[in-house]
Structure formats: structure tokens, C-alpha cells
Amino acid sequence: MTEGTGTPLLPPTRAEYCVIACAEAWRDAGEILASPMGVIPSLGARLARLTFAPDLLLTDGEAMLVRPDGTVEGWLPYRQHLALVTGGRRHVMMGASQIDRFGNQNISCIGDWERPKRQLLGVRGAPVNTLNNPTSYWIPRHSRRVFVEKVDMVCGVGHDHAGGARYHRIPRVVSDLGVFDFATPDRTMRLASLHPGVTLEQVGEATAFALTVPDAVPPTREPTAEELRLIREVLDPQSTRAGEVGT
């Protein structure tokens, strides 16, 4: 893989595959708000905006809608953000302290809710997000503590609790090991792609529930040379992505 100048590019890192896997969540999304939470989803959303999802709306993390270069193009304070959620013109990528095979997500507490062993953030907007706009998840450290059989507190609603809710959709879960979806008859989690360098055994060992694994699992796609250039030179020259996912 070479750039136009003929300089050989370093091969993609794990963090860069993760950026690509997150960016893909917003492919051809149209004129909707991308709400990424975390460094790598933010890079993914901005990469998508610069390439294959040019109509995406992005925020500065506060109350402004901004173009990729930081130019303010709109105002979205929290009250309008919450209204936009229920209008559905948004695809959020949230974190998860726990996620289970049906895609239930927990960011509230670990242990018994009445008297938690570990108090976390609280349900935040997960209940409203999951009933109103597509909600994907990003998990920077795939482990059995996160990918659990049953979450301690359902914040983001999974398929077994959604009861056919009209606007419920969990397009994908991206971790540092691979990409997952719910394209199974019972809407449980399926391995959709493995990041290059990751083995099936690794994923199995790091997941505490039975994951559907298709006969042929594709690798997460390679970034193009232009995408790598954008990530490395334009979006994240300080390489903050490496702080979220190591190599």
C-alpha cells in the first residue's frame, strides 16, 4: 500500500481497524446526527463524514453543530438534543459497562440496584435512545466482565425486552476484537467480522455467553490509503486513538 508520493504506509493498527468499524455504522446515513461516545467512535464519525457519509451532522461535544473543520453550522443544546432523539434523526454509539447476548446494555451500576457493589453513571439517555433512534455500542476492552450472560441493570433495551417497539434498532456492536450484529433468528448476538490479527478463540474466551459464529467469518475491512491518511494526518495526528485501544 503506497501513497501518491510513493512513501510506504505503516500497516493499519488495531485502533485504526476499530475506527473503520465504527465509521461503517454511519455509512450512507444521510442527514442525521452522529452521536459518538468515546475517542474511536468520534474519529469514526468524523471519518464517515469526510468520506462516505457527507451529509452527517456532528457536534463539538457541547451545544454546537460543527463541520469537520470546526466551523459552527448549528446550535443543539441538551433540550434540543433530547427532542432530536425522539424525532429519530440520529444514530448514537454508546459505551457499555455490560452488554448481553440480546443487546441489553448497562451503564448504571454493578450488582444489586438497591445497594450496588459499584455505582456507575446512571441510566443516562440509554432508555430513550434505544426506543427512538438506532443505537450502536463501542467496547474498547472486550472481556467477560463486559460481554455478560445477563446485565445487572437494563439501561439500553435489548431485543428480548423491546417487545417490537417501533423504532428499536441495534445496528452493531464494535469491540477491540471485532464487529457484532443481531442478524440471527432469535435476535441474539452474532460475530459479523473479526479485526485482522484476532482469532475466534480470543473472542470466545473474552465472551461470557454463547455467541453465534457463522461458518465463514469475514475480516473487518481494510482501510483505504486515503482513510489512513485522514485518520493519521487530519483527524488524529496526536494518536489519541492508541490510548483507547492498544496494539
Partner 1 sequence: MTAQEVVSRLHSGMTLGIGGWGSRRKPMALVRALLRSDVTDVTIVSYGGPDVGMLAAAGRVRKLVTAFVTLDSIPLEPHYRAARERGAFALMEIDEAMFMWGLHAAANRLPFLPVRAGIGSDVMRVNPGLRTVTSPYDDGETFVAMPALRLDAALVHVNRADRQGNGQYLGPDPYFDDLFCAAADTAYVSCERIVDTAELTKEAAPQSLLIKRHTVTGVVEAPNGAHFTSCAPDYGRDEAFQKTYATTPWPQFAARFLGGDEQAYRSAVREGS
Sheet with 178-181: strands ordered across: 33-36, 90-94, 135-139, 173-175, 178-181, 190-194
Among 11, 67, 119, 234, binds partner 1 (CB under 8 A): 119
Note whether 6 binds partner 1 by CB under 8 A: no
Rule CB under 8 A: say whether 163 interacts with partner 1.
Answer: yes
Q: Which three cell numbers stand for residue 154?
A: 437494563
Q: Considering only residues 31 through 50, tell me which ones interact with partner 1, judged by CB under 8 A.
A: none
The answer to the question of residue 156 lying near partner 1 (CB under 8 A) is yes
One of 157, 192, 203, 245 touching partner 1 (CB under 8 A) = 157
| Count of residues in contact with partner 1, rule CB under 8 A | 43
Q: Taking CB under 8 A as the rule, does residue 117 contact partner 1?
A: yes
Give Cα 126 distance to the centre of its chain: 14
Beta-carbon contacts of 80 under 8 Å, excluding residues fewer than 6 positions away, are none
State how beta strands 105-106 and 58-59 pair: unpaired
- Among 69, 79, 215, 237, the residue binding partner 1 under the rule CB under 8 A is 79
According to DSSP, the residues that pair with 137 across neighbouring strands are: 94, 173
Measuring CA to CA, which residue among 129, 124, 92, 132 is closest to residue 108? Answer: 124
Looking up cell 464494535, which residue turns up? Answer: 174
**Of 13, 35, 98, 108, which one interacts with partner 1 (CB under 8 A)?**
108
- Integer Cα distance of 59 and 63 in angstroms: 7
- 45 and 104 Cβ atoms separated by less than 8 Å: no
CB under 8 A: which stretch of 81-89, 137-145, 176-184, 211-219 binds partner 1? 81-89
61 vs 196, which CB is nearer to partner 1?
A: 61
Rg over CA atoms, the chain: 18
Site string for partner 1, 120-149 (x = CB under 8 A): xxxxxxxxx-xxx-----------------
CB of 64 to partner 1, least distance (A): 6
Q: Are 50 and 230 in contact (CB under 8 A)?
A: yes
Nearest-approach distance from CB 80 to partner 1, in angstroms: 10
75 binds partner 1 (CB under 8 A): yes
Which residues of this protein are in contact with partner 1, per CB under 8 A? 62-64, 75, 77-79, 82, 85-86, 108-109, 113-128, 130-132, 153-157, 161-163, 165-168
